[in-house]
Amino acid sequence: MTDPRTDIMGVILAGGAARRMGGGDKGRLSLGPLTMIEAVVARLRPQCRTLVLNANGDPARFADLGLEVVPDSLPGLPGPLAGVLAGMDHAAARGYGHILTAAADTPFLPAGLAGALWRAKTPETPIVLAATDDPASGRMVRHPTFGLWPVSLREDLRQALTAGVSKIVLWTERHGTGWARFPTEPFDPFFNVNAPGDLDRARRLAPLIFGLDRQPPAGS
């Protein structure tokens, strides 16, 4: 199988307003030895050839990360699909066929995210998103901000956003969506920080999860 990293630009989605956390750059919150966004960078960087950050406002505040900052091209913070479009446009201009997206508030994302999504891709399902199974119900839990997206669909996405579509799955279902399922043991890799209580939990989990990786993320 072709190494997917040669055709993938990674895009960290950090363009939200973080209202439930009081605003600001949620990814800058500390887990102890490093911030959430530093953990995301460390876990995502080995999985793609190039990594960029989708964020709005002054890009200089992220200079220490060493990543190119790509803002939304549409006004009004229309949501993560706008970040996907910004990443698609940026990747297309640089010759990439796909982008891999991940949220900046999910510091324990799978180390094998790119490979699993790539293997699940078919001609009938050109977009592949991440999912887990709810241990209690067995139902699929979708994590649509974590996905593999062909940049060839960027003009269709631009039209959809301009028409008011904002929910990821409403757009992806038009094109065929594959789902790559990830285990939730020994930890849920898609645990995300939406509220202060989540941050407390992430701080408790971080030493355990990074210990399971046997090697802590760079910067710790």
- Among 76, 78, 173, residue whose Cα is nearest residue 129: 173
How big is the chain by its Cα radius of gyration, in Å? 16
Give the largest Cα separation in the chain, rounded.
Answer: 47
> Strand 98-103 relative to strand 8-13: parallel, antiparallel, unpaired?
parallel
d(CA 219, CA 69) in angstroms, rounded, equals: 20
Task: Say what the pTM is.
Answer: 0.90
Binding residues for GTP: 13-15, 26, 54, 72, 105
Cβ-based burial of 190 (10 A; exposed 0-12, middle 13-18, buried ≥19) = buried
Domain limits of the chain?
Answer: 9-208
Instruction: Give 1's pLDDT tier (boundaries 50, 70, 90).
Output: very low
Q: Provide CB contacts within 8 A for 65, sequence distance 6+.
A: 37, 38, 41, 53
d(CA 165, CA 20) in angstroms, rounded, equals: 23
Binding residues: 13-15, 26, 54, 72, 105
pLDDT at 46 over 90: yes
pLDDT at 213 over 60: no
Q: For residues 129-144, give the mean pLDDT.
A: 93
Q: What angle do CA 42, 43, 44 make, to 5 degrees?
A: 95
CB neighbours of residue 53 within 10 Å: 26
Binding residues for Mg(2+): 105
Chain position carrying tokens 């990821």: 168
> Strand 8-13 relative to strand 68-70: parallel, antiparallel, unpaired?
unpaired
Q: What percent of the chain has pLDDT over 90?
A: 71
Q: Give pLDDT tens digits for 60-98.
A: 999 999 999 999 988 876 789 999 999 999 999 999 999
User: Any idea which fold 9-208 has?
Assistant: Spore Coat Polysaccharide Biosynthesis Protein SpsA; Chain A (3.90.550)
Please tell me whether residue 6 adopts helix, strand or coil conformation.
Answer: helix
Question: If you count DSSP H runs as helices and E runs as strands, how many of each does the chain have, helices first?
Answer: 6, 7
Q: What percent of the chain has pLDDT over 70?
A: 89
